Structure 1
Amino acid sequence: MNRRTRRLPRWLGLGLLLAVAGCASTQPPPPPEVRAGQPGRGADLIAQYGCGSCHTIPGINRADGLVGPPLTRFGARSYIAGELVNNADNLQRWIVDPQAVEPGTAMPNLGIPAIDAQDIAAYLYTLD
């Protein structure tokens, strides 16, 4: 073994140690929230718009659809539809016009106004 080959494992070990230490010391971001939203109204709107016909949504009566993904633990997710970072602005944008975010997505544009999207998002963020 030459001198360069012997140093490689130590260098890799140090790099891995620093990477692990860096990951362990960072705090996870706080769960997303919609401060002005009304989660109770959002739950009613989810039922009114029929979201449960496609999604399984905890706390919503008869929301046991299997077409779209289940929305369980939605507040703990990193991405919305695999496209957007999970934050309040992006979620409201997705709810209002999913086709603008991901053309051709199975999620239909239901004509949900921004004020309703705000409350729906507020409810979904209680699901963490």
Structure 2
Amino acid sequence: MPQASPARGKAAIERVGCAACHQIPGIRWPQGGSGPSLAGFAEQGLIAGRLPNRPDMLAAFVRNAPGVLPGTTMPAMPLSEGEARDVAAYLYGTR
């Protein structure tokens, strides 16, 4: 994603607490289990089991999951559009 920063994405993930629900490589604590592990995200076929796994879709989903996929259990997150792109850049770099 143009101008996206994985380092800023990691900071945003830590700030908003994504790891409270997900296990995320590089995030040591917490390591939630109510959501899926996000390890190897780039290799996953779908986002939330229903959306195409594309950077633009992931950025929109992490920012406002209920708006993108009504009925999802993931809440909207307090992220700007830029921060959401950064989060996507970080997740696509995980293994």
Coarse TM-score class (shorter-chain normalised)? over 0.9
Kept in 2, the 8 Å contact 1:57–1:63? The answer is no
* Paired residue secondary structure (1:40): helix
Gaps (5+ residues) in structure 2?
none
Q: Over aligned residue pairs, what C-alpha RMSD do you find?
A: 1.1
Considering fraction of residues, name the structure with more helix: 1
Counterpart of 1:62 in structure 2 is 29
Task: Please tell me whether residue 36 in structure 1 is matched to residue 36 in structure 2.
Answer: no
Runs of at least 4 residues off by over 3 Å: none
The equivalent position to 2:57 in structure 1, one of 68, 83, 90, is 90
Counterpart of 1:123 in structure 2 is 90
Gaps (5+ residues) in structure 1?
1-33
Q: Distance in 2 between matches of 1:83 and 1:93?
A: 14
Tell me the TM-score normalized by structure 1.
Answer: 0.70
Tell me the TM-score normalized by structure 2.
Answer: 0.93
Larger radius of gyration between Structure 1 and Structure 2: 1
Kept in 1, the 8 Å contact 2:44–2:53? The answer is yes
Q: Which has the higher contact order (CA 8 A, sep 6+)?
A: 2
